[in-house]
């Protein structure tokens, strides 16, 4: 049986692996773990088609370990225990370390199924690598998550996807027989949605659709061959990301009508209601924030209620919450503040904490002037006194900049009154 292109060109060594340089580059944590030989158990979190399975296989190949794989869709506790028993018996006999157990879509495992992995991971019988498209903080039990390193795999960018196509034409014996010209790639990349597997499947379909060995890839050819009809909502596919994006942007844009429509699309498509509720919590801080602090309370309460009530009644709770958030005043000041503060940390590094605000639990620290001249705010009128709290090198930097809404303008007025000459908004 002819293998799909994505399988035929799956990388055989780490140097052929495209993308995820933050993990497998020279200073990446996975590369360093491979060099040291001390591989931790891992959770790979990222969208479909970004190389989670390939990376797990390459780690096994590079570390010369036995590789076992299970799919959470079709495997139960019995399957997990059988593989663990095999791993215990084979560990160290023919491999350079404990065997790797790769579980695809680990978020689909129930609590009892995940519990069945704990002992094997803790005792080192296996090095677990779990792959998930869902946030592991919510979908992987805390006991298992605490025993694993979580690595985020990023979406492929245009450069990565074009490199993948070039690699396919260069490596695959079937494509080598063709004279392929990539004249236009915009439609090809658009239909793939950043999913490498989908990109290669479409690319192969285009090649096979042509009667001759001379194939010119153009936007017109792609659009003719890929007759995309409105598809049923797929909560693991491209529509999952497009519709949640439309939902969030509708609330951010203060359109409750559109927000409820996209909410209905997700509900009718069988989307996980907790996933929707979690996104509302994030939005309440990112897009509303201090303009209406109650928004975060509302979103968090909605998440708890959805957890308690379940479908179908929880759809009403989500509707109430999304309408409330859509009609709230908007501000991204808190979101921008932490972004800029993190960027400053990356730029200026680990600056010293000013002596006056350091902790001084020992006599030696006190002798070294830790905490000296600290001004205790509650000893002053209004529980406020001007002091320096930032490292000297970045004194005067402003990260929080209130937006033009009633609540944040009141905050700005108060800051200007307290901090004479510092907060000149």
- CB 148, CB 130: distance < 8 Å: yes
b/e map of 22-50 (b: 16 or more CB within 10 Å)?
Answer: ebbeeeeebbebbeeeebebbbbbbbbbb
Token pair belonging to 379: 């000893």
Determine the Cα–Cα distance for residues 279 and 22; give it in Å rounded to an integer. 26
Does residue 111 sit within a domain?
A: yes
Do 170 and 263 lie in one domain? The reply is no
Do 125 and 25 lie in one domain? The reply is yes
Does residue 424 sit within a domain?
A: no
Question: Of the candidates 21, 22, 7, 24, which has an alpha carbon nearest to the alpha carbon of residue 58?
Answer: 24
CA–CA–CA angle 165, 167, 168 (5° rounding): 65
- The per-residue pLDDT for 93 is 47
Do 132 and 191 lie in one domain? The reply is no
CATH code, 263: 1.20.272.10
Determine the Cα–Cα distance for residues 218 and 245; give it in Å rounded to an integer. 28
Q: Which domain holds residue 30?
A: 19-152
Do 271 and 309 lie in one domain? The reply is yes
- The per-residue pLDDT for 132 is 93
Distances (CA, A) of 338 to 16, 95, 211, 227, 357: 36, 45, 56, 44, 21
Boundary (domain end) residue, out of 129, 152, 175: 152
Determine the Cα–Cα distance for residues 169 and 385; give it in Å rounded to an integer. 67
Does residue 292 sit within a domain?
A: yes
In 344-420, at which residue ranges do the beta strands (DSSP E only) sit?
none
3-state SS, 282-340, equals HHHHHHHHHHCCHHHHHHHHHHHHHHHHCCCCHHHHHHHHHHHHHCCCCCCHHHHHHHH
Boundary (domain end) residue, out of 130, 152, 174: 152
CATH code, 371: 1.10.3710
Instruction: Round to the nearest angstrom and report the end-to-end CA distance of the chain.
Output: 68
Determine the Cα–Cα distance for residues 346 and 194; give it in Å rounded to an integer. 28
141-189 tens-digit pLDDT: 999 999 999 999 998 999 999 999 999 999 888 898 889 999 999 999 9
Q: What are the residues facing 217 on neighbouring strands?
A: 182
Question: Of the candidates 335, 338, 298, 290, which has an alpha carbon nearest to the alpha carbon of residue 319?
Answer: 298
Q: Dihedral, CA atoms, 254, 260, 262, 265, nearest 10 degrees?
A: 180
Does residue 246 sit within a domain?
A: yes
Boundary (domain end) residue, out of 202, 225, 248: 225
- Whole-prediction pTM value? 0.65
Distances (CA, A) of 220 to 210, 224, 243, 359: 14, 6, 26, 66
Do 205 and 111 lie in one domain? The reply is no
Do 193 and 271 lie in one domain? The reply is no
- Concatenated DSSP letters of 93-126: TSSSSSPEEEEETGGGS-HHHHHHHHHHHHHTS-
Q: In this structure, how many other beta carbons lie within 10 angstroms of the beta carbon of residue 350? A: 7
Q: Please, which contacts does 105-109 make with residues 24 or more away whose CB atoms are closer than 8 Å?
A: 105/71, 105/72, 105/73, 105/131, 105/132, 105/133, 106/43, 106/72, 106/130, 106/131, 106/132, 106/136, 106/139, 106/140, 107/72, 107/132, 107/133, 107/134, 107/136, 107/139, 107/140, 108/72, 108/73, 109/72
Distances (CA, A) of 271 to 158, 264, 372: 28, 10, 56
Count the domains in the chain.
Answer: 4
Token pair belonging to 33: 């773990």
Do 102 and 144 lie in one domain? The reply is yes
Determine the Cα–Cα distance for residues 339 and 361; give it in Å rounded to an integer. 32
What parts of the chain have a pLDDT lower than 70? 1, 91-96, 227-238
Do 318 and 249 lie in one domain? The reply is yes
Do 274 and 393 lie in one domain? The reply is no
Relative to beta strand 127-132, strand 100-104 is: parallel
Q: Give the position of tokens 């780690």.
A: 59
- The per-residue pLDDT for 281 is 97
Do 210 and 317 lie in one domain? The reply is no
- The per-residue pLDDT for 365 is 76
Question: Of the candidates 190, 203, 164, 201, which has an alpha carbon nearest to the alpha carbon of residue 18?
Answer: 164
Does residue 144 sit within a domain?
A: yes
Q: Which letter does DSSP use for residue 360 in this model?
A: -
- CB 173, CB 65: distance < 8 Å: no
Does residue 360 sit within a domain?
A: yes
CATH code, 165: 1.10.8
Does residue 87 sit within a domain?
A: yes
Do 144 and 39 lie in one domain? The reply is yes
Do 319 and 391 lie in one domain? The reply is no
Does residue 383 sit within a domain?
A: yes
CATH code, 107: 3.40.50.300
Helix (H) / strand (E) containing 224 = helix 219-225
């Amino acid at each position: 049986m002819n293998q799909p292109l994505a399988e035929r060109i799956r990388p055989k060594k780490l140097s052929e692996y495209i993308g995820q340089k933050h993990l497998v580059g020279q200073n990446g944590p996975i590369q360093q773990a491979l060099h040291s030989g001390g591989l931790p158990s891992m959770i790979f979190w990222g969208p479909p088609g970004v190389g989670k399975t390939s990376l797990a296989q390459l780690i096994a190949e590079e570390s010369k370990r036995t590789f076992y794989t299970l799919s959470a869709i079709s495997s139960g506790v019995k399957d997990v225990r059988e593989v663990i028993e095999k791993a215990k018996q084979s560990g160290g006999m023919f491999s350079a370390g404990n065997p790797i157990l790769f579980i695809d879509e680990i978020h689909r495992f129930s609590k009892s199924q995940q519990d069945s992995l704990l002992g094997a991971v803790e005792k080192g019988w296996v090095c677990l690598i779990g792959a998930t498209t869902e946030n592991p903080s919510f979908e992987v039990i805390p006991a298992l998550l605490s025993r694993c390193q979580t690595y985020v795999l990023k979406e492929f960018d245009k450069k990565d996807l074009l490199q993948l196509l070039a690699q396919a034409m260069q490596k695959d014996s079937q494509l080598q027989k063709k004279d392929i010209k990539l004249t236009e790639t915009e439609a090809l990349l658009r239909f793939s949605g950043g999913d490498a597997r989908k990109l290669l499947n479409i690319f192969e379909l285009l090649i096979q659709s042509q009667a001759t060995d001379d194939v010119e890839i153009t936007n017109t050819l792609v659009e003719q061959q890929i007759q995309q009809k409105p598809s049923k909502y797929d909560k693991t596919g491209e529509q999952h990301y497009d519709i949640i994006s439309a939902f969030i942007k509708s609330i951010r844009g203060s359109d409750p009508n559109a927000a409820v429509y996209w909410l209905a699309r997700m509900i009718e498509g069988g989307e996980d209601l907790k996933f929707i509720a979690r996104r509302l919590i994030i939005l309440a801080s990112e897009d509303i924030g201090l303009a209406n602090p109650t928004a975060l309370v509302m979103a968090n309460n909605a998440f708890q209620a959805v957890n308690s009530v379940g479908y179908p009644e929880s759809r009403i709770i989500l509707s109430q919450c999304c309408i409330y958030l859509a009609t709230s005043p908007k501000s991204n000041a808190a979101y921008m503040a932490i972004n800029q503060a993190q960027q400053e940390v990356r730029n200026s590094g680990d600056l010293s904490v000013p002596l006056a605000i350091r902790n001084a639990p020992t006599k030696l620290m006190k002798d070294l002037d830790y905490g000296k001249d600290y001004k205790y705010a509650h000893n002053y009128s209004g529980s406020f006194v001007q002091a320096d709290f930032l490292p000297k090198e970045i004194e005067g930097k402003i990260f929080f900049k209130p937006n033009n809404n009633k609540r944040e303008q009141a905050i700005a007025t108060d800051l200007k009154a307290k901090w004479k000459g510092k907060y000149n908004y």
